[in-house]
Amino acid sequence: MLAYPAMKRSLAVLLALLAPRAAIAAPQGAFSVTIAAKDMHEECVHLAKGEKRNYSWRSDGPVDFNIHYHRGGKASYPVQRDGMRGDGGTFVAKAADDYCWMWSARERPVKLEGRIAK
């Protein structure tokens, strides 16, 4: 009977330690952030050739948006849009690489909400 409360506390500590790691290990899914003026936010994931991600997002002010990857010290932008308040679609990787969805705030902070999912 005495071991039960101690076991319960141990389980609570273990769950508390694991929860932050799960959030860090899963950059995909829903997100909600505030981007400071002239700052940016990225959501990155490794995709295999032909792998797809559906994405949608909206912001309360204009942002510059792109999907990019880095190869040989150079950034390439398969998707690039400026001054948007929202967008969405399906992105298909033409090659295996680390791809990043990136939003850059312009002159004022913006609230950004979105989702990137299989």
Over residues 14-33, mean pLDDT: 53
Q: Per CATH, which fold does 29-117 belong to?
A: Jelly Rolls (2.60.120)
CA 78: distance to chain centroid? Answer: 17
pTM above 0.85, yes or no: no
Between 25 and 1, the more confident residue is 1
Over residues 8-17, mean pLDDT: 40
* Per-residue model confidence (pLDDT) at position 55: 98
* Per-residue model confidence (pLDDT) at position 9: 45
Closest CA to 67 of 39, 38, 97: 97
Closest CA to 66 of 33, 101, 16, 30: 101
Question: How far separated are the first and last CA of the chain, in Å rounded?
Answer: 46
Q: Domains of the chain: which residue ranges? A: 29-117
CA 41: distance to chain centroid? Answer: 8
Kindly report, residue by residue over 39-97, the tens digit of the pLDDT: 999 999 999 999 999 999 999 999 999 999 999 999 999 999 999 999 999 999 999 99
8-state DSSP, 8: H
